[in-house]
Structure 1
Amino acid sequence: MTAFAVTRATVARALRDRAALFFMVLLPVAVIVVIGVTVGGFDRFRVGVVPDGRAGPVARELTRDLENAPGLRTRTYDSVADARTALRRTELDAVVVVPSGLDGQVRDGRPVAVPVLVEPSGGAGQSAVSSVSSLVAQHAARLQAARFATDEAGGTFDANLTRARGAEAASSPIGVTTVTVDGESSYLPLGYSYSTPTMLVLFVFINALAGGAAIVQTRRTGVYTRALAAPVSARTLVFGETAAYLLLALLQSVLIVGIGALVFGVDWGDPLAAALLVVVWALVGTGAGVLAGAVFRTPEQVHAVGPALGIGLGMLGGCTWPLALVPGWLRAVGGAVPHSYAVDAWTTLMSRDGNLGSVTGDLLVLAGFATALLVLASLALRRRLTAPGTG
């Protein structure tokens, strides 16, 4: 038996395990979708809209503008009371009340006030008001142009409003671009570009740890003992098992990267740097998984400790929230786990337009973790296999 035969048998056994495939493929994708949708709206204000029940075309257009605004997440309410309740429950940042009789006031040339409700203690309320005010001002400029054309050149207000819309659509707007000088983002992009790389780091490590249960089960059933009775060395078994779990970790990584790019439109940054990061992180997970298979005595111990340990390290390493948001002491603790360096490297590639040179430091640290874990795992598993009566 060669190391390749051991690798092939282990990989085939894992791919036939439906539970393992669920945790390797379906669960990470499901979590990516949930977190991606959740964090995708962090850069938009939650605004409730109370439309006029007998709204005319002008009021309906204002409502549509609010609903289609890229910086707002709007929800329509039937009454002001319902919207106020949602505002008090912090479900909303602001409430826009479309005034009754808006169309008539505009056509008569009378001033119109659009009430915007906020909570006094709401930190995002005033920012939401600024976004709403900008949109309402843009809508008002269109109405003022139509009113001016009606007063000066004649024609109907509706016809002039149509011309104003056409002129607005044909004009080239002046945009404002904000540039932070000498600044760097400490966060991954929001949405799926946040959830996909962090879940790759988290689940590759967790599934590698869980894979250690199969090594323990193989030991307990005496498969290794029978293999060692044949002309097969412990080194061959260790190398074959390590290669198998590396292939499984790489397979899961490629699936997550591919699904992220093709389904969710995730831009992984510099291809060479991203590929090396995937490989090095797979080596880290492989070392941890094989070490778990060598250290634990029963598969139940692996299943009980492995996921909890993987999730805990992932939380410390920034897989569930950016380390830039946590206190300094917790950030320092996070720097002691490999996950933080993997997340930092993905942040550099995806948020700072980094390249291989930008993440070389993180890759070297991860390579150090991988080397230490693989050496310890190899020594521990070989000793476990060759020790009398321990199999």
Structure 2
Amino acid sequence: MVSGIDEFRVAVVPASSGSGAGPVASELASDLDRSDGVRVIRYADESTARTAVRRGEVDAVVLVPTGLDAGIRAGRDVTVPVLVEPSGANGHAAVSSVAAAVSEHAARLQAARFAAGTVGGTFDERLAQARTVQKTIPAIAVRSETVNGQSDYLPLGYGYSTPTMLVLFVFINSLAGGAAIVSTRRSGVYARALAAPVRARSLVLGEAVAYLALALVQSALIVGIGSLAFGVSWGDPLAAGLLIAVWALVGTGAGVLSGAFFRTPEQANAIGPALGIGLGMLGGCMWPLAIVPSWLRTMGHAVPQAWAVDAWTELLSRNGGVLDILRELAVLTAFAVALLALASLGLRRRLTSAVVVRRS
């Protein structure tokens, strides 16, 4: 078990004083203690530490090698054993943190050995110099950047999850929101409204506008929070705005169609989100379609989510603009028109048939 949010408990068994323990071995234990993500617990002997890792009291055990100082001074390679419980996931994760600390320690020893062999002086003198230099020289930062690159993947981290979650949840919430239309139908509100000089298509238009407004507000929240809190870049503003608007229309059609299709609010609340998640998985909201087989990628593009994710990939991974996503916008517009048409016809039929039944 991890003792903190990102801290592993690591037992350190020092080399015995009678087997060549020295400052290098002590410094290794100190480096582990100062390492980020590691809390060192010192054990006097290996047997006690092994028992602790078996009981889950620590995540890993580091055995400082016998004769570490002597081996380093003699120019030999020395292995640092790390013990973990085979079935414990935290132990294997802790090994990465331990390996980073040991690598840093080894780099300092290699620098001292190289300097002693080329410039002269004793190993201890050059090791002290390596410690001083390491503290004064800032670490080298490595930044990778692909210039004019073409990627089939959205950027990693929040750059991937935020656009795909916009696509996923605007659609899911619209489907689940159809329960409100079902409740209004069942309560007789529409029937009473149609008793006045109000046409069914006006009610349908009003519902569509309300769902469109909700989809746009939700999209704006995701974009705003993603930009301000997580530094997500949304690419070309005009292209991103058009894509968000068209996707909101797709969600609107799906939401109104849900309200016309389902018979009870419970059906809309239960089936709508499950259907939205399934379509999102098929359309690449959970994983890039570039990594799935070609036949599954083709199936995925039978749903609008895949075209929306493709458009975001073009904008965010290839620095595309409006012209670059025209095909995706056209396909999504076709989906929106089809869904809105089906929703309009379905809801009008529901409303008018309910009025006829009540009047009869």
Give the TM-score of the pair, scaled to structure 2: 0.73
Offset, 1:328: 2.0
Cα gap change, 1:265 to 1:183, in 2 (>3 Å): closer
Letter in 2 for 1:276: L
Residue identity over aligned pairs, in percent, reads 56
Name the CA distance, whole Å, in 1 between partners of 2:61 and 2:243: 47
Equivalent residue for 1:301, pick from 267, 283, 288 = 267
Identify the match of residue 389 of structure 1 among 352, 356, 359. 356
What is the identity, as a one-letter code, of the residue corresponding to 2:65? S
1:165 aligns with 2:128: no
Q: CA 1:243 to 1:175, structure 2 compared with 1: closer, same or farther past 3 Å?
A: closer
Once the 2 structures are TM-superposed, how far is the Cα of residue 311 of structure 1 from its aligned partner?
1.4
AA paired with 1:108? R
Gaps of 5+ in 2: 1-7, 16-24, 43-48, 84-94
- Structure-1 residue corresponding to 2:27: 57
Structure 1 residues 74-117: Cα deviation after superposition (integer angstroms, max 9, x where no partner): 8989857988999xxxxx9xx99564358634773542423578
Corresponding residue for 1:374? 340
**Consecutive unaligned residues in structure 1, runs of 5 or more:** 1-46, 69-73, 87-91, 119-128
Aligned to 1:42: none
For residues 289 and 176 of structure 1, do their structure 2 counterparts lie closer, same or farther at Cα, with a shift above 3 Å needed?
A: closer
TM-aligned CA distance change 1:80 to 1:303, over 3 Å: same
Q: 2:317 corresponds to which residue?
A: 351
Q: How does 1:238-253 map to 2 (within 5 A)?
A: 238-253=204-219
8 Å CA contact retained: 2:154, 2:312 = yes
The correspondence of residues 1-391 of structure 1 with structure 2, limited to 5 A, is 51-53=12-14, 56-61=26-31, 67=36, 99-100=64-65, 104-105=69-70, 108-115=73-80, 139-147=105-113, 148=115, 151-152=120-121, 156=125, 159-166=128-135, 168-169=137-138, 173=140, 184-387=150-353, 388-389=355-356
CA contact (8 A) 2:182 2:260 kept: yes
Moved over 6 A (4+): 47-50, 74-78, 80-86, 129-138
Report Cα offsets for 1:96-152 as digits up to 9, x if no partner.
95643586347735424235789xxxxxxxxxx999999866654432433435952
Tell me the number of residue pairs that the alignment of Structure 1 and Structure 2 aligns. 321
After superposition, the Cα gap between the structure-2 partners of 1:195 and 1:130, relative to the gap in structure 1 and judged at 3 Å, is closer
1:56 is paired with a residue whose SS is helix
For residues 239 and 161 of structure 1, the distance between their equivalents in structure 2, rounded to whole angstroms, comes to 75
Q: What is the one-letter code of the residue matched to 2:172?
A: I
- Structure 1 residues 203 and 229, CA, compared in 2 at 3 Å: closer, same or farther? same
**Which letter does structure 1 place at the counterpart of 2:79?**
V
Give me the whole-angstrom Cα distance separating, in 2, the residues matched to 1:307 and 1:154.
Answer: 67
Post-superposition offset of 1:59: 4.5
Deviation, 1:201, is: 1.2
Q: What SS class does the counterpart of residue 354 from structure 1 fall into?
A: coil
Task: Tell me, in whole angstroms, the C-alpha distance in 2 between the residues paired with 1:185 and 1:48.
Answer: 40
Kept in 1, the 8 Å contact 2:227–2:233? The answer is yes
- d(CA) in 1 for partners of 2:296 and 2:9? 37
- C-alpha contact (below 8 Å) 2:308/2:332 kept by paired residues: yes
Deviations 1:180-201 (A, max 9, x none): x986322223322222222221
Q: What secondary structure does 1:152 align onto? A: coil
Check whether the contact 2:204–2:348 (CA below 8 A) recurs between aligned residues.
Answer: yes
- Partner AA of 2:168 in structure 1: L
Which structure ranks higher in relative contact order (CA pairs < 8 Å, sequence separation ≥ 6)? 1
8 A Cα contact 1:97 1:116, kept in partner: yes
Cα RMSD for the two superposed structures = 4.1
1-side partners of 2:273 and 2:123: how far apart? 74
* Rg larger in structure: 2
- 1:358 shift after superposition: 2.4
- Whole-angstrom CA distance in 2 between matches of 1:207 and 1:106: 64
Aligned mates of 2:10, 2:70 — CA distance in 1: 20
Kindly tell me: are residues 140 and 200 of structure 1, through their superposed partners in 2, closer, same or farther at Cα, counting changes over 3 Å? same
Contact 1:209/1:306 (CA < 8 Å) preserved in 2? Answer: yes
CA deviation map 1:193-249 (0-9, x unaligned): 222222221111111111111111111211111111222222221111100011111
Distance 1:176 1:212 in 2: 47
Partners in 1 of 2:72 and 2:241 — Cα distance? Answer: 62
Q: SS state of the match for residue 389, structure 1?
A: helix
TM-score, scaled relative to structure 1: 0.68
Secondary structure at 2:286's aligned position in 1?
coil
